[in-house]
Chains A and B, each alone.
Chain A
Amino acid sequence: MASIKEHSKTPERLVGGHRLCGGCGASIAVRQVLLGAGADAEVVVGAATGCLEVSTTALPYSSWNTSFIHNAFENAAATITGVEAAYQGLKAAGRIAQDKQIKFVAFGGDGGTYDIGFQSLSGALERGHDFVYVCYDNGAYMNTGIQRSSATPHYAWATTAEVGSALAGKPQRRKDLTSIVAAHHIPYVAQASVGNWKDLVDKAERAFATPGPAFINVLAPCPRGWRYDSSQTIEVSRLAFKTKFWPLFEVRDGIWSMKEVREKDVLPLEEFLKVQGRFKHLFKPGNEHLIERLQTEVDEAYEYIRKMCVITA
């Protein structure tokens, strides 16, 4: 795994001049993931409709210093696997060189991945194409204005999971997409975060190096939707890790492993929640039990991964 200084020689594959908000986690995730493709690789990028896509492709400009395709919201996986199939077909036809290597990667937000693009992703993974799918998970439909998705955390505020006398934010737990993807028994599955850049870039390197389908779910906070200052994106991501809200783990050929939070670094969940306006209602008197419940759920999810690491070791 290359050092940060080595990586800094990689040509920028996502250049400036895009219109994502200041402090956006999505573009950080993309830059870090694409470092993992290696400095010399030819990369074709696909993207689902969403913040990342609209902000990087406003005509006549493209921020992608690679070949790029956007099709629609729910089909980034089907689309990039169509590109990959074309690569295989053109090779078989002798129209491109047999030794030509291309990396295929698709980016989708949590809406485009957990929800509307779930079927397309599942199908593409099952078919076994050689590609990497990256979900940049900011926990809501940010492009349309912070509506809840199945990735939105329990009790988080969203514009379609409001906070009022009858409702305390989203009433349901979030979907554990990374584990569901692992159940496809593809060669490489990982969960990472922009707050742990080394872990993320290393995982991306492994994903790109893996023949067949690979999937990475990257926590990519949204300052607007989570209601924190734009400078805190990395800090909030680190808190997600240290409070065990967002475990960093991977599943390589069915074997689970986790980057554990060091015992002395573990923080209570409140530390992650209190810096975000979307959870501010949880700190009102009388809502203590909601935080307790959330802490229990987070602990359970963390334990589940730990157990999977033991079972599959």
Chain B
Amino acid sequence: MNKQNDNNQAAKSSIALDTGDMTTTFARSVEDFDCWRSEDFTLGGVVTDAGNSILYKTGGWRSLRPVWDEEKCTNCMLCWVHCPDSSILVADKTMIGIDYDHCKGCGICALECRFEALRMLSESEAASLEGGQ
């Protein structure tokens, strides 16, 4: 699990139980959602695992891939604050990478980067570069 997900966990545990409510959860794993029957859902289809869309990968939508040059990066965070897919990974005020599981390749980060630390490559180009390394 990546850093972003650690943040999820931290946020969740910050809420205290003080009304004596009842908590129910889905009876089955999201992995086999297509097989869920009526009784496997919570009442009304309430999601009790907030932020679980992190398990759903949207990286496959991408045709262009942002490639990060750590040397040129100044950690200005402009890519992070503008990313529509929460896919710039940061830890302790420092960029640590890109979440390719969710990045859709929109190109905003590369366009907004003032230091040429991000550039967009076609997925095939990026794959061949990786293969060559």
Tell me the B80-127 residues at the A interface (CB within 8 Å): 80-87, 90, 92-93, 99, 101-108, 110-112, 120
Q: What does the 1/0 interface line of B12-27 toward A look like (CB < 8 Å)?
A: 1011001100000010
Contact pick for A90, options B19, B51, B54, B85, CB 8 Å: B19
A24 within 8 A of B: yes
- Cross-chain contact B54 with A17 (CB below 8 angstroms): yes
On chain B, the number of residues with a Cβ less than 8 Å from chain A's Cβ atoms is 57
- Cross-chain contact B55 with A197 (CB below 8 angstroms): no
- Cross-chain contact A16 with B53 (CB below 8 angstroms): yes
Q: How large is the interface on A (under 10, 10 to 19, 20 to 34, 35 or more residues)?
A: 35 or more
A175 within 8 A of B: no
- Cross-chain contact B11 with A13 (CB below 8 angstroms): yes
Stretch at the interface among A60-68, A141-149, A161-169, A249-257: A60-68
- Cross-chain contact B47 with A61 (CB below 8 angstroms): yes
- Cross-chain contact A15 with B51 (CB below 8 angstroms): yes
Contact pick for A16, options B26, B93, B99, B112, CB 8 Å: B99
- Cross-chain contact A66 with B50 (CB below 8 angstroms): yes
Tell me the A204-251 residues at the B interface (CB within 8 Å): 223, 229-235
A265 within 8 A of B: no
Tell me the B29-85 residues at the A interface (CB within 8 Å): 30, 33, 36, 45, 47, 49-58, 61-62, 75-78, 80-85
Residues of B within 8 A of A82 (CB): none
A103 within 8 A of B: no
- Cross-chain contact B101 with A16 (CB below 8 angstroms): yes
Bound Cα distance A81, B85 (Å): 28
- Cross-chain contact A64 with B51 (CB below 8 angstroms): yes
Bound Cα distance A23, B62 (Å): 12
- Cross-chain contact B112 with A234 (CB below 8 angstroms): yes
Bound Cα distance A16, B89 (Å): 11
- Cross-chain contact A62 with B52 (CB below 8 angstroms): yes
Closest to B33 in A: A60
- Cross-chain contact B84 with A23 (CB below 8 angstroms): yes
Residues of A within 8 A of B53 (CB): 15-18, 56, 61-63
Please list the residues of chain B having a beta carbon within 8 angstroms of any beta carbon in chain A. 4-5, 7-8, 10-12, 14-15, 18-19, 26, 30, 33, 36, 45, 47, 49-58, 61-62, 75-78, 80-87, 90, 92-93, 99, 101-108, 110-112, 120
